[in-house]
Amino acid sequence: MNDYDVPDGIDVLRVFCGPAGRHGNPLGVVRDGRGHPDDASRQALARGLGFGRTVFVDDPERGAVDIRTPGERLPFAGHPLVGAAWLLDLEVLEPPVGEVTARQDGEFTWIEARPEWGPPRRLERYASAAEVEALTGPPPGEGPLYVWAWEDEAAGRVRARSFPRRPDGPGGGSGEDEATGSAAVLLSAELGRALNIRQGRGSQILAAPAPDGTTEVGGRVLLVVTS
């Protein structure tokens, strides 16, 4: 079902699209989570859809959502919440981690998050954007890896790629995430500055830390399929 041949009641979005509306990370959104009330049925659907993330909407007015990978439930994830905020047009979402505020700003949808909400991952700086571009797959090792380099340090422009290196990741353990909001939050918080990140084949992620310890992450969202 990765070609977006999805059952009724499921929307497919691309989140963190580039300036021309291309690329971005696919996201499945189950608009009425009541049709899949138990953990087993939700996990089976997420596995069958095959997207990196699937969101089940449990209360569209309150913003209660449940986030799944093909293998597990997540308390927080960046691109699913940006996508859900855009689709549901909400200012507050309630994933398992707690209340997450959202806002629309022109073509960008933003959410506010804390770096510790995302999964642990290694951030590895490369000497140049060309070195990041040249990677043909994940470097050796285990666990999520986010490689990055400055394209223009003064302007805050970053070239990045994200390798989950997990069995249920895109393409198994050897895949690559096209756009990773939680990693952008972590990098922006660690560097203490606003970033304009080009990730994967051409996705764009914006991130900016706030004085209260949160970090905003934002991007464009495109509706690909509605059923």
SS3 of the chain: CCCCCCCCCEEEEEEEECCCCCCCEEEEEECCHHHCCCHHHHHHHHHHHCCCCEEEEEECCCCEEEEECCCCEECCCHHHHHHHHHHHCCCEEECCCCCEEEEEECCEEEEEECHHHCCCCEEEECCCHHHHHHCCCCCCCCCCEEEEEEEECCCCEEEEEEECCCCCCCCHHHCCECCCHHHHHHHHHHHCCCEEEEECCCEEEEEEECCCCCEEEEEEEEEEECC
Digit-coded pLDDT (tens) for 60-81: 999 999 999 999 999 999 999 9
Q: For residues 136 and 200, state if they share a domain.
A: yes
Confidence check: pLDDT of 169 > 50: no
Domain assignment present for residue 30? The answer is: yes
Q: Tell me: do 101 and 149 sit in the same domain.
A: no
Give residue 171's domain range.
Answer: 117-210
Residue 92 within any structural domain of the chain: yes
Query: pTM here?
Result: 0.94
How many domains does the chain contain in total? 2
Weakest-pLDDT range from 70-79, 97-106, 165-174, 178-187? 165-174
| 3 assigned to some structural domain | no
